A and B are shown apart, each in its own frame.
Chain A
Amino acid sequence: SQQGEEDPQALSIQEGENATMNCSYKTSINNLQWYRQNSGRGLVHLILIRSNEREKHSGRLRVTLDTSKKSSSLLITASRAADTASYFCATVAPSGNTPLVFGKGTRLSVIA
Chain B
Amino acid sequence: NAGVTQTPKFQVLKTGQSMTLQCAQDMNHNSMYWYRQDPGMGLRLIYYSASEGTTDKGEVPNGYNVSRLNKREFSLRLESAAPSQTSVYFCASIPQISAGYGYTFGSGTRLTVV
A38 to chain B, nearest CB (A): 10
- Interchain CB contact under 8 A, B42 and A96: no
Contacts of A44 in B (CB 8 A): 105
- Interchain CB contact under 8 A, B42 and A104: yes
Q: For the side of the interface on A, what is the size category?
A: 20 to 34
- Interchain CB contact under 8 A, A99 and B106: no
Instruction: Number of B interface residues at 8 Å Cβ cutoff, please give it.
Output: 27
- Interchain CB contact under 8 A, A42 and B107: yes
- Interchain CB contact under 8 A, A99 and B58: yes
Contacts of A46 in B (CB 8 A): 102
Question: Which residue of B40, B41, B50, B108 contacts A42 across the interface (Cβ within 8 Å)?
Answer: B108
- Interchain CB contact under 8 A, B102 and A33: yes
**Is B98 located at the chain interface by the 8 A CB criterion?**
yes
- A-binding residues in B (CB < 8 A): 4, 33, 35, 40-45, 48, 50, 58-59, 90, 92, 97-108
Given pairs A43-B105, A44-B105, A96-B99, 6 additional interface contacts (CB within 8 A): A35-B103, A43-B90, A45-B104, A97-B97, A97-B98, A99-B97
Can you give 28 contacting A-B residue pairs, CB < 8 Å? A31-B100, A33-B103, A41-B107, A41-B108, A42-B4, A42-B105, A42-B108, A43-B43, A43-B105, A45-B102, A45-B104, A48-B100, A48-B102, A50-B99, A50-B100, A88-B43, A90-B43, A96-B98, A96-B100, A97-B98, A99-B48, A100-B45, A101-B45, A102-B35, A104-B40, A104-B41, A104-B42, A105-B42
